[in-house]
Amino acid sequence: MKGIALVMFSVLLVTACSKDDNNSAVQPLNELRATDIIADTIIGFSATGQPFGSGKFTFFSLENNRVVPSSDSNSTKWDLGFRGTTIITNSGVSGPGNGGGFVQVGTFEDLKMVAADSVFRTDVSPSNLAIPAGSNRAWFVYNPQANLVTPIPGRVLVIRTALGKFAKVEILNYYKGGVTPLATASDDDKIRKQRYYTFRFMVQPDGSKKLSN
């Protein structure tokens, strides 16, 4: 009887461990959101009235969902950098990581897998970035009449992190609190509230290219 009980206990233990192993192997993807990620504080205005900042990027880790200190800019601790409307990846001239990215036309929800033939761009130079800078080239459009920056619907940033994982990012807003000022608001109000990113994102922790549950 003791032998039978021992065998039954062993079977139960193995079964329980197998269930635990299966549960731990399945890691559901979580949609995360970052709010009011400042992208270079405005410190003055040019002769033509255009605002300018200190020229510093804010570094952000998608894998850890947090801002990374500037002292770690030459490391693989960050994945994206924000300065005004410019976004850099931890790659090429921007950082030592294995990062990169491209812009995909489509919705955040519909992007379920990074296509096998996807080509990840890297930051070759300040004027040739993985995520192209400038209005109507990547994620935003600038309306000079309203003096507002607005994300383009249906644009998703497909990102390879500094450590080679895959993620998708959708920029939702460029203004403090995630609320775009009215077109009728004063230019002072629009300028004071700009350069605060709100975005949602999803990172695949297991290294695969699957970007949905």
Q: Where do runs of H (alpha helix) occur along the chain? A: 2-25, 187-193
Q: Which amino acid is at 4?
A: I
φ and ψ at 92, to 5 degrees? Answer: 50, -125
User: Quick one: DSSP state of residue 15?
Assistant: H
> Measuring CA to CA, how many Å separate 186 from each of 144, 181, 191?
14, 9, 9
Q: What distance lies between CA 131 and its chain's CA centroid? A: 11
Single-letter code of the amino acid located at 3: G
Q: Is 6 helix (H, G, I), strand (E, B) or coil?
A: helix
CB 157 within 8 A of CB 150: no
185, 188, 190, 193 alpha-carbon torsion, rounded to 10°: -130
pLDDT tens for the chain, 213 residues long, are 545 444 444 444 444 444 444 444 556 788 999 999 999 978 888 887 777 888 899 999 999 999 999 999 999 999 999 999 999 999 999 999 999 999 999 999 999 999 999 999 999 999 999 999 999 999 999 999 999 999 999 999 999 999 999 999 999 999 999 999 999 999 989 999 999 999 999 999 999 999 998
pTM of the model: 0.85
CA proximity to 44, closest of 33, 34, 55, 58: 55
Other CB atoms within 10 Å distance of the CB of residue 108: 20
| Residues 48-79 pLDDT 10s | 777 788 889 999 999 999 999 999 999 999 99
